[in-house]
Amino acid sequence: MTTGKKPPIVRIKRISSPDDYTKSNELLAVGFANDAEAYIGAAQQLTDFKSFGPRYFLFCHALELLLKAQILASGGEQEELFDIRHDLEKAYARAIELGYRSANDRVKHIVVWMAPYHKQHTFRYKESGYLIVPKAEELVAILQSMHLEIEATVRAAYIMSEKRNS
């Protein structure tokens, strides 16, 4: 039996879309850094064991977005991101090549550790077996420190691009 009422609908305005690739590298980098921060926050909310896969997927995606934001803010081009895809080691190497240096010496270790899982979509598609991964608290601390470093670079690049274009 239906009541004739329609289910509630939530209308969400997308802030970023495929059309963003027509935007400047600096503006896209700002969006990536903002989204990475949101993914970190979302991952922090998923604390039950049933959410293990989604939680670690969010951590890895935040890491990917941070590295890509750094690449774009440091002189990289949008086209190269299509070649990098979900390869965290490739993204990290390119960010280093463009001058990224983290004050946190665990960043490289975490990138190398998480890269195969992210590249193979291990956290997206459930598989049986055991995984050895960093503690969530360590990932949060590392990702937050990366975000602070990279966001500063991204914001500075965006401000400089706005000054050049005005």
C-alpha distance from residue 10 to each of 6, 7, 16, 108 (Å):
12, 10, 18, 40
For residue 50, the model assigns a pLDDT of 79
Q: What is the mean pLDDT of the chain?
A: 90
Least confident of 13-17, 28-32, 70-74, 124-128: 13-17
For residue 53, the model assigns a pLDDT of 92
- Within a domain: residue 47? yes
C-alpha distance from residue 157 to each of 13, 71, 131 (Å):
26, 11, 38
- Within a domain: residue 16? no
For residue 51, the model assigns a pLDDT of 81
For residue 32, the model assigns a pLDDT of 98
- Within a domain: residue 123? yes
- Within a domain: residue 100? yes
Buried b (16+ CB within 10 A) or exposed e, 1-24: eeeeeeeeeeeeeeeeeeeeeeeb
For residue 10, the model assigns a pLDDT of 57
Q: Return the closest-CA partner of residue 147 out of 57, 83, 65.
A: 65
Q: Which domain holds residue 60?
A: 23-165
The pTM (predicted TM-score) of the whole model is: 0.86
Contact 73, 95 (CB under 8 A): no
Domain count, the chain: 1
CA distance linking residue 99 with residue 58, whole number of Å: 26
Give residue 21's pLDDT band: very low, low, confident or very high (50, 70, 90). low
- Within a domain: residue 116? yes
pLDDT at residue 58 above 80?
A: yes
The residue with greater pLDDT, 7 or 94, is 94
- Within a domain: residue 15? no
CA distance linking residue 39 with residue 65, whole number of Å: 9
pLDDT at residue 46 above 70?
A: yes
- Within a domain: residue 52? yes
Question: How is residue 2 written in tokens?
Answer: 């239906």
For residue 145, the tally of other CB atoms under 10 A from its CB is: 15
CATH number, domain at 136? 1.20.120
For the residues 9-24, what does the mean pLDDT come to? 59
pLDDT at residue 157 above 70?
A: yes
Grouping H, G, I as helix, E, B as strand and the rest as coil, residue 12 is: coil
